[in-house]
Structure 1
Amino acid sequence: MQVVRIILISAVLMLLVTCFPAKAIWFEATGQAAIHNGEKEAARQQATQEAIKQALLFSGASVKSIQSLVNGLLEDDRFEIRASGEVNNIELIDEIYHDDYVTVSIRADIFPQETMCSASDYKKNIVTTWYDINKRQQAAVGNLYDFGKVLAEKIQLEAQNHARHSFIHRVEPYFLTPLDKEKKSMAFTLAQKTDAQFVLFGEIIEFGLETTQSSGLAFWNNDQNRRNLTLSLSMFDGNSGEMVFQDTQNISAPWDFDIHKPINSNSQQLWDSTFGSATKKIIQTVVQSIDESVSCLPAFGRVIKVSGESLSINIGKHNGVKQGDKLTLFQMNQFFDPQNLPHRQFQLHPEAVIVKQVFAETALVESITGAPLANIQPNDFVARR
């Protein structure tokens, strides 16, 4: 079985939201977590957190408010999540222990809020690369030199399955760790190359193993190994060069493997382990945070082809584009400051455009009024505002 399985049982509408928009709604959810090394309480907390998170996400997670849920059920834990609902009460429905996992069912009394921006209608394209391990020698334990490659792909998969406002459409197949001063210009280049709006840079800062020696009085116990993981991320707007997201996540979790034997970075054995389970939580947190950071930013598409009075743009069905959508047209000018750093300015075009045809990753737009789209060239932009 997987380390964590999440089952959303039901969302029970106790009051009609349309008639009573300020009233609460009961959401019912169930979470499951594996029990490692007999640590039932840790598994219970994880399963409970997953259930609460699912109830919150089901009610809509888009506004950057942080709830601290300390309600008897989690009286010894401070659980934080960004969501668009205010949590009034949480009730424990059921708690069942199985041989190797625990199931927790809860009901949450949530005041849902309306989405605060229309820009979230479209998913924004994000490109990232493999994540380099800063201290390469730390990957020797387990022979996990390609762990950063797998981690980037796992983040992409999580985003494609669960992100509501963003879409990691490409993972470039190489390690890339630019200096901070290089990231802005590199974001311009990488975004244009891959048809992305945002560029996500990542680096594994720490990947080392710590060993705690067993007590001499308890010589029968083995030494305890823990593995650290620190992931540093920053994301830049590929059109303006502005940094829109930055975060560092770290964990220290038991390492359940022989330190002298290799393990496949993409194996179920690794990702079902205690360390793998903790890393999955990092992945979920990162994807949610990235998704929220772009939720209310305008969705940009790039003009990739000009054919008469029709323009092909690099966003399509995957981004939520629909036939009949109206978009704003921009032109871009680039200049360099005295320090030779690139800057871009955007100029609004007088003609708005409408989507005529939609494909998986592209769309065809034309002027709403039928007027000529003068001076528009590839690499100019359309925007959903």
Structure 2
Amino acid sequence: MYKFITKLVFIVSFSCSFSASSQWYETQGHARTNDISVELARTKAMENALKKALLVSGASVSSVQQVVNGLLTQDQISIRASGSVNSIELVDEIHSDNLITVTIRADIFPQEKKCFAVNFKKSLLITRSHLLQREQANIGEIYLIDKSVMRKLAVQLNQQSTFTKTSSILNNKTEFSRLNNSLASDEISQLTQSLSESTNSQYVMFSEITNVSFDKQATNSWLFWQQGVYPRNFAISFYLYNGINGELVWQQRYQNTAPWTFTKRINVDVDGNAFWQSEYGMMVENILDKVIKDIDENIMCEPSRGKIIQVQGNQVTINIGRDHGLKIGDEFSLLHLNHFTDNSGKSYAGFNLSPYKVKVTKLSRETATATTPDGRLFGNIQVDDLAVRY
């Protein structure tokens, strides 16, 4: 068992005043030692555990770390929501097969949360990516990387994200890439709303893999191939849309390069452990970790919206429930849909804030029943209107 205590340097992204008493959070982190050193695996496990501790306390974290001899010696962290860490302690370390598990305690000063919406998870639909230049996938025949990467992202989001509840449709491609290439924003909005409607998702994510090429010098040099190390690029662009109104919420492009350690003529299974434990696979996975952090930071304070699926007397049923973090007694405002068309004929999704507020009285995993506290009957509230927590 290893123990140490280290101070962390913080860059706080907003002005704040901390409460007088701090609180300890104990969390576990995991990492596999396949093809990497024990020291590096230990550090990755500690990063995982520390991130969990900070997110549990209500913080969203990005970190830049310097590692010397497997110990965390410097950490610069930007916190968006709340919390400041005074110290961390490595409590326990267990090695089992190729898995290392660490337990840490983090001494965190709490702070009032920046927004109420962080209490709830937003439903997010992941769609299959699109490989823009298919010929670049010839070496290794990694044509299914458009499906594999998004499957990995969906799994990691459900495991790591504090603010999303993720589902996916990966067997078939959408028309997004064709529409995006032709700048058909209205059609993309309609596609987004259609997918949102059919899957009960508040957000829909599209993506395009723009580069999986090799360095030209590497592909033209036989000697380079004989050496068994070939730099290969990976670039991917993400587009996150609000499923309610079809508007683009966030987009970002990520890219990196890592050695391709497979032989030139072998077909690589992009769903297999050999790929994801290779240097190239780990590079792609590191990009996905950044994507998860960016998704969380961009939707954590967005209002949690549930669609009304039933209206009965002074009672509504909405399509978010216990799995999204709702609790008995949570209060929601109601929005009445008010679509309109401008002078150019472009359609917009508008909303009228209803005077009614409702309180959750019954819960299932996927739905909630809420009633008006004073028993008042609803006026113009109807199915497909929204219940919103800001």
Structure-1-length-normalised TM-score:
0.78
Look up the match of 1:226.
231
- CA apart distance, 1:123: 0.7
Letter in structure 2 aligned against 1:135:
Q
Alpha-carbon distance in 1 for matches of 2:97, 2:158: 33
Instruction: Give the superposition deviation at 1:130.
Output: 0.2
Is the CA contact (8 Å cut-off) linking 1:163 and 1:287 kept in structure 2? yes
Q: Deviations over 1:310-358 (max 9, x none)?
A: 3221111211222332221110111223443332221112221222322
Indicate the larger mover: 127-136 or 299-308: 299-308
**Pairwise CA distance, 1:194:** 1.8
Structure 1 pair 219/56, CA: closer, same or farther in 2 (3 Å)?
closer
**Residue equivalent to 1:16:** none
1:1-385 equivalences under 5 Å are 21=20, 32=31, 34=33, 36=35, 44=39, 47-60=42-55, 62-63=58-59, 66=62, 68-69=64-65, 84-86=82-84, 111-171=109-169, 173-176=171-174, 177=177, 178-179=179-180, 180=183, 181-182=185-186, 183-210=188-215, 213=218, 222-385=227-390
The structure-2 alpha-carbon separation of the partners of 1:107 and 1:221, relative to structure 1 and needing over 3 Å to count, comes to farther
Alpha-carbon distance between aligned partners in 2 of 1:82 and 1:310, rounded to the nearest angstrom? 39
Aligned CA distance change for structure 1 residues 67 and 127 (closer, same or farther; 3 Å)? closer
1:194 to 1:226, Cα distance in 2 relative to 1, 3 A? same
Kindly provide the CA deviation profile for residues 218-271 of structure 1, in whole angstroms up to 9, marking residues without a partner as x: 999625212221111121222244432222222211112123222222112211
Structure 2 gap ranges (5+): 7-17
Greater alpha carbon shift after TM alignment, 25-34 vs 293-302: 25-34
What SS does structure 2 have at the residue aligned with 1:55? helix
AA paired with 1:250?
A: Q
Secondary structure of 1:291's counterpart equals helix
| Paired residue type of 1:330 | L
TM-score by length of structure 2 reads 0.78
Cα deviation for residue 380 of structure 1 reads 0.4
**SS of structure 2 residue aligned to 1:351:** strand
| Counterpart-to-counterpart distance in 2, 1:114 and 1:220 | 56
Aligned to 1:3: none
Rate the CA distance shift 1:90–1:349 in 2: closer, same or farther, 3 A.
Answer: closer
Q: CA 1:255 to 1:101, structure 2 compared with 1: closer, same or farther past 3 Å? A: farther
Which stretch of structure 1 is more off in the superposition, 371-380 or 337-346? 337-346
Shift of 1:151: 1.5
Q: CA deviation at 1:307?
A: 3.9
Q: Which amino acid aligns with 1:139?
A: A
Q: Retained in 1: the 8 A contact 2:55–2:162?
A: no
CA distance in 2, matches of 1:382, 1:219: 60
Cα gap change, 1:318 to 1:88, in 2 (>3 Å) = closer
| Letter of the 1:166 counterpart | T
After TM superposition, give the deviation of residue 109 of structure 1 in Å.
Answer: 6.3
- Residue pair 1:120, 1:295 contacting (<8 A) in 2 also: yes
AA aligned opposite 1:352 = K
Q: Contact (CA 8 Å) 1:322, 1:355: kept in 2 or not? A: yes
Q: Do the aligned residues in 2 keep the contact of 1:52 with 1:108 (CA within 8 Å)?
A: no
In 2, Cα distance between the equivalents of 1:280 and 1:371?
A: 52
The alignment-based identity, stated in percent, is 27
Change over 3 Å in CA distance of 1:8–1:329 after alignment to 2: farther
- For residues 326 and 198 of structure 1, the distance between their equivalents in structure 2, rounded to whole angstroms, comes to 22
How far 1:101 sits from its partner (Å)? 9.2
CA RMSD of aligned residues (A): 4.1
Call closer, same or farther: CA 1:351–1:98 in 2, change over 3 Å.
closer
- C-alpha spacing 1:375/1:285, structure 2 compared with 1 (3 Å): same
Q: Cα distance 1:67–1:97, how it changes in 2: closer, same or farther (>3 A)?
A: same
The runs of 5 or more residues in structure 1 that have no matched partner are 1-6, 13-18
Distance in 1 of aligned mates of 2:281 and 2:334? 45
Which moves more between the two structures, 245-254 or 172-181?
172-181
